[in-house]
Structure 1
Amino acid sequence: MKKVLVTGFDPFGGESINPATESVKQLPDELLGVQIIKREIPTVFDCSLDVLYTLLDEEQPDAVICVGQAGGRPNITVERVAINQDDARIPDNEGAQPIDRTIFEDGPAAYFSTLPIKAMVRDMKAAFVPAAVSNTAGTFVCNHVMYGALHYAATKAPKLKAGFVHIPYLPMQTVDKPTMPSMSQDEIVKGLTALIKTVISVEEDVKETGGAVC
Structure 2
Amino acid sequence: MLGTAPGADVGLRRILVTGFDPFGGAPVNPSWAAVQALDGLQMEGHRVVAARLPTQFDSCLRVLDELITAHRPALVLCTGQAGGRAAVSLERVAINIDDARIPDNAGAQPIDTPVRAGGPAAYFSTLPIKAMLAALLAGGFRAEVSQTAGTFVCNHVFYGLMHRLATDPACAGMRGGFVHVPWLPEQGHPSMTLEQLVSGLELALRCALRTGSDIRLQAGSLG
TM over 0.5: yes
1:181 corresponds to 2:190: yes
Match of 1:154 among 157, 163, 166: 166
Alignment pair present for 1:93 and 2:105? yes
- Match for 1:170: what amino acid? L
Q: Which one of 195, 201, 211 corresponds to residue 202 of structure 1?
A: 211
Q: Which moved more, 1:164-173 or 1:25-34?
A: 25-34
Distance in 2, matches of 1:88 and 1:120, equals: 29
2:193 aligned with 1:172: no
Partners of 1:35 and 1:185 in 2: CA distance: 21
Structure 1 SS opposite 2:150: coil
- Distance in 2 of aligned mates of 1:26 and 1:3: 16
C-alpha distance in 1, partners of 2:175/2:152?
Answer: 22
What value does the CA root-mean-square deviation take over the aligned residues? 1.0
> What is the rounded CA distance, in whole Å, between the counterparts of 1:158 and 1:13 in structure 2?
36
Shift of 1:168: 0.2
2:31 to 9, 15, 20: 20
Superposed CA offset, 1:160-191 (max 9, x none): 101000000000111xxxxx301000011111
The question of whether the paired residues in 2 share the 8 Å contact of 1:9 and 1:42 is answered with: yes
**Residue 129 of structure 1 contacts residue 190 of structure 1 at CA under 8 Å; is this kept in 2?**
no
**What is the CA-CA distance between 1:2 and the residue it aligns to?**
2.3
* Separation (CA, whole Å) in 2 of partners of 1:128 and 1:66: 22
Paired with 1:204 and 1:3, the residues of 2 have a C-alpha distance of 20
**TM, length-normalised to structure 2:** 0.92
Q: How many residues align?
A: 209
Give 2:122's aligned residue: 110
State the 1:133 CA deviation: 0.1
Match of 2:22 in 1: 11
Q: Which residue of the partner structure matches residue 139 of structure 1?
A: 151
Q: Secondary structure at the match of 1:45?
A: coil
Shift of 1:29: 1.8
| Identical aligned residues as a percent | 48
State the secondary structure of the residue aligned to 2:79. Answer: strand
Question: Which runs of no fewer than 5 residues in structure 1 stay unpaired?
Answer: 175-179
Report the CA distance between 1:33 and its aligned residue.
2.3
Structure 1 runs, 4 residues or longer, greater than 4 Å off:
none
Scaled by the length of structure 1, the TM-score of the pair is 0.96
CA distance in structure 1 between the aligned counterparts of 2:54 and 2:43, rounded to whole angstroms: 26
Q: Partners of 2:24 and 2:122 in 1: how far apart?
A: 26
Q: Matched residues in 2 for 1:91 and 1:159: separation? A: 35
Q: Which runs of 5+ in 2 are unaligned?
A: 1-11
Q: CA deviation at 1:158?
A: 2.8
Structure 1 distance, partners of 2:210, 2:118, is 33
